[in-house]
């Protein structure tokens, strides 16, 4: 492992220094290379793969094999960032053994350095078993898309006292079980602040305000890859949809009109050779 590689120790160091941790998603080699070259600290191969790349309506259909395939491609493009692989739906609920085997597979077969798991106290023992096997675990609380049918939609979590207390206790349970950090998704800003101040591991926010120890977004969302709706918490740093559309439409028009390819895009050959063919 190169000495520049971001590890759980880097997370601890940044957290202690108050330096914000940056994380973005990637699902393939070219985007992973770009995100890594931009100096982002961690790359999450999220099961948002299902929505963003595979065209599913949710993360539920994403399988272990899908994750292994995409995490491998991402890991091949990364030199510095920590690669975090999402454990997909039901890959860590059936039994402790199966959870351990699946987490192990994500590290051993793909080149990821950590796994991410959704849930709080109900998965704490599984988190303990996985971290006990030397596999770093990033927790994920708040809006957990694998439970979307139970939650009844993509809504802000922890708004009433009971739900807020549960999130706080879940974060403490994950820390106690050995998680090295925890994603807080769609949590009110003051609650995310309280959780961040109440636990000893870094929080990574998405729709959780500025007081988290770091931030994560879906790269395609923040680069405006899809022209349509994106959630309130996403800031757009580019408009790739428009740039790509312009390029694609110009290509179509130029092929149709004969403007492309021009002489500079073709290859010549010896006139004598050509004559012999006629
Ligand atoms: O799957 C994912 O991309 C995620 C992030 C949104 C945190 O879990």
**Which sequence spans correspond to the domains of the chain?**
8-242
Is the pLDDT at 180 greater than 90? The verdict is yes
Which among 165, 17, 146, 39 is positioned nearest to 90, based on CA atoms?
Answer: 146
Q: How many Cα neighbours within 13 Å face the side chain of 98?
A: 10
8-242 CATH, one of 3.90.1520.10, 1.40.20.10, 3.20.20.60, 3.30.70.270: 3.20.20.60
The structure tokens listed for 52 are 């963003």
| pTM for the whole structure | 0.96
Residue from 42, 47, 87 whose mutation best tests the ligand 1 pocket (most atoms within 8 A of CB)? 47
Q: Which one is catalytic: 118, 125, 162, 185?
A: 185
Contact 140, 185 (CB under 8 A): yes
Other beta carbons less than 10 A from residue 24's beta carbon: 26
Q: In whole angstroms, how large is the CA radius of gyration of the chain?
A: 22
Cα–Cα dist 133/154, whole Å: 33
Q: Is 25 in the pocket of ligand 1 (CB under 6 A)?
A: yes
Phi (first) and psi of residue 240, to 5 degrees: -65, -30
Is the pLDDT at 230 greater than 90? The verdict is no
Question: Looking at residues 179-186, what average pLDDT do you find?
Answer: 98
Q: What is the pLDDT of residue 213?
A: 98
20-37 pLDDT per residue, tens = 999 999 999 999 999 999
Cα–Cα dist 16/153, whole Å: 36
Contact 241, 229 (CB under 8 A): no
Q: Is 86 in the pocket of ligand 1 (CB under 6 A)?
A: yes
**Cα–Cα distance list, 232 to 156, 215, 267 (Å):** 11, 15, 50
Is the pLDDT at 140 greater than 80? The verdict is yes
Contact 75, 111 (CB under 8 A): yes
Q: State the burial class of residue 41 (Cβ atoms within 10 Å of its Cβ: 0-12, 13-18, 19+).
A: buried
Cα–Cα dist 31/202, whole Å: 25
């Amino acid at each position: 492992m190169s000495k520049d590689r971001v590890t759980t120790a880097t997370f601890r160091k940044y957290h202690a220094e108050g330096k914000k941790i940056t994380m973005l998603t990637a699902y393939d080699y070219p985007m992973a290379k770009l995100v890594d070259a931009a100096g982002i600290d961690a790359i999450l191969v999220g099961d948002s793969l299902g929505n963003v790349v595979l065209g599913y309506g949710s993360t539920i259909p994403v399988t272990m094999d899908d994750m292994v395939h995409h995490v491998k491609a991402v890991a091949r493009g990364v030199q510095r960032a920590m690669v975090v692989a999402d454990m997909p739906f039901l890959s860590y609920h059936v039994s402790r053994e199966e959870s351990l085997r699946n987490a192990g597979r994500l590290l051993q077969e793909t080149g990821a350095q950590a796994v991410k798991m959704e849930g709080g106290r109900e998965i704490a023992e599984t988190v303990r078993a996985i971290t006990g096997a030397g596999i770093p675990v990033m927790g994920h609380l708040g809006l957990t898309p694998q439970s979307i049918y139970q939650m009844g939609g993509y809504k802000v979590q922890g708004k009433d006292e009971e739900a807020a207390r549960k999130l706080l206790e879940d974060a403490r349970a994950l820390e106690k079980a050995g998680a090295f950090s925890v994603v807080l998704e769609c949590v009110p800003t003051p609650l995310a602040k309280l959780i961040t101040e109440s636990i000893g591991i870094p929080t990574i926010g998405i729709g959780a305000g500025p007081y988290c120890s770091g931030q994560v977004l879906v790269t395609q969302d923040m680069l405006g890859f899809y022209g349509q709706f994106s959630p309130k918490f996403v800031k757009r740093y580019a408009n790739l949809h428009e740039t790509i559309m312009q390029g694609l439409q110009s290509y179509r028009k130029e092929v149709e009109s004969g403007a492309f390819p021009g002489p500079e895009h073709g290859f010549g050959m010896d006139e004598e050779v050509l004559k012999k063919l006629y």
